[in-house]
Copies of this chain bind each other. A is one copy, B any other.
Amino acid sequence: MSASPAPAFASPVSAVAAPEAGRYTTIRHRTEALCRPLLPEDTVVQPVIYVSPPKWHLAHTTWFWETFLLREYLSGYTVFHPDYAFLFNSYYNSLGSRVNRADRGTLSRPALHEVYQYRAYVDEHMQRLLAQGGGLPAAAREVFELGLQHEQQHQELLATDIKYILSTSPLAPAYQPAPAPEPAATVPPASWLPVAGGVHRIGFQEEGFCFDNEQAPHDTYVADFELQNRLITNAEYLEFMEAGGYRDFRYWLGEGWDLVQQQGWEAPLYWTLQEGRWHRFTHSGLQPVNLAAPVTHVSFYEADAYAHWRGHRLLTEQEWEIAARQFQPTTTGGTFLESNRLDPQPLAPNAPADQCHQLLGEAWEWTYSAYHPYPGYQRAAGALGEYNGKFMINQLVLRGGSCATPESHIRITYRNFFQADKRWQFTGIRLAR
């Protein structure tokens, strides 16, 4: 365990130097670009409690800049609207009362165009703050970087929430045109890659930004293990379905089996049979399932049941990171938000069997590790202390990023987390033994 105290959100000075204004603009624009294909109607609804209206994302990310940067560091700043703090606070108890999360979808006002005015107002003042003599005050740099990362997190949520929202309409509307169909690819069988056990150091030890939950770097012991060199494909998952996987309790955790019964699960989220063939709802509407692509939109329960059925298991987050440190993945060739594909891509047929593929991008990988504090973890003081630490119970860690994660946002120490029943993120499966 690292004895040296780490900053809550580590970001060396160099990361937020001169190109601050440019990075700010680029990231803020991307958020809006994501929403451009939407109609105002699409930005309002909240079909389930964990999906937020896009209008809310647009406003909440802006509220973050206003609250943590402009009100603190831009002298003479006047808030855009006195009620917005109440409306667009997500979960910070430190910052007072707020709209009940379940009621986000009942608010038609402020209108979308007013939210865009809010964004413009805050952007303009942020540029003023960034252009101030001497640049951003030292105290503000960490929060500035956090604001950018926070905005990127909401970009991923926007992509997945939009998909869910459009999926609720029987009209199956398309967010963007479907790509040209590609020739059916053949994915070679997965190979097993060995990783040597022992004491390994994990947690963020690199340059640049990390979230507080990746701290402190620390030693951990794992035994020798093997992992598959790629994600599980739709074809492989379909074998599980066709073998009756959803009808046999023996593969399932108790809570998972209860959900299968109650919810009538018999396939991943978004899958539907049309004239005898499996289709799935995508950002391009209803499309045939691409058998070669990685399976996504499975819950932890399904991932674990699949692994059981195969006679294998999921990785722990320690194993995942140790493997990643061994195989040193880059984002090259992976599918990320920037590609606008919003759909995981199949592995190239000629991908070498002795390399580990798809560690970054395509699909978040469920691990069988609880989202708990690392040894030496410290919550930050003040409101930002509520960013990560208070969620460290009853959630599981996911690793590696997905096709909806910004490429510049992911790294091998990144700890994403969701409850075991959630399926609306691009969540997939990798096996270990």
Residues on A lying within 8 angstroms of B by beta carbon are 1, 39-47, 55, 81, 83, 86-87, 91, 93-94, 99, 103, 105-112, 165-166, 168-171, 173, 197, 199, 218-225, 249-250, 252-257, 300-301, 368-370, 372-373, 375-376, 385-386, 390-394, 420
Contacts and interface: CB of A to CB of B under 8 A. Distances in A.
B254 A91 contact: yes
A106 B420 contact: no
A39 B40 contact: yes
A234 B93 CA distance: 29
Contacts of A255: 393-394
8 contacts: A1-B223, A1-B224, A41-B43, A45-B106, A47-B106, A109-B171, A255-B393, A394-B394
A234 B105 CA distance: 33
Contacts of A252: 390
Nearest to A162: B108
Contacts of A254: 91, 386, 390-391, 393
Among A47, A112, A250, the most chain B Cβ lie within 10 Å of the Cβ of A250
A44 B47 contact: no
A89 to B, nearest CB: 12
Given A111-B39, A368-B373, A394-B420, A45 B47 contact: no
Nearest to A225: B1
Contact of A109 (B109, B166, B300): B166
Contact of A368 (B41, B372, B386): B372
A105 B107 CA distance: 11
Nearest to A395: B394
Contacts of A220: 221
A342 to B, nearest CB: 18
A219 B219 contact: no
Nearest to A376: B223
A256 B93 CA distance: 13
B171 A110 contact: yes
Given A1-B197, A111-B39, A105 B223 contact: no
A45 B81 CA distance: 23
Nearest to A248: B93
Given A40-B39, A253-B390, A106 B372 contact: no
A378 to B, nearest CB: 10
Among A103, A221, A301, the most chain B Cβ lie within 10 Å of the Cβ of A221
A252 to B, nearest CB: 7
Nearest to A54: B108
Given A108-B39, A221-B219, A369-B372, A168 B257 contact: no
A315 to B, nearest CB: 11
A171 to B, nearest CB: 5
B197 A199 contact: no
A8 B116 CA distance: 53
B385 A250 contact: yes
Given A41-B44, A394-B255, A108 B368 contact: no
A63 to B, nearest CB: 14
Contact of A87 (B112, B170, B219): B170
Nearest to A223: B1
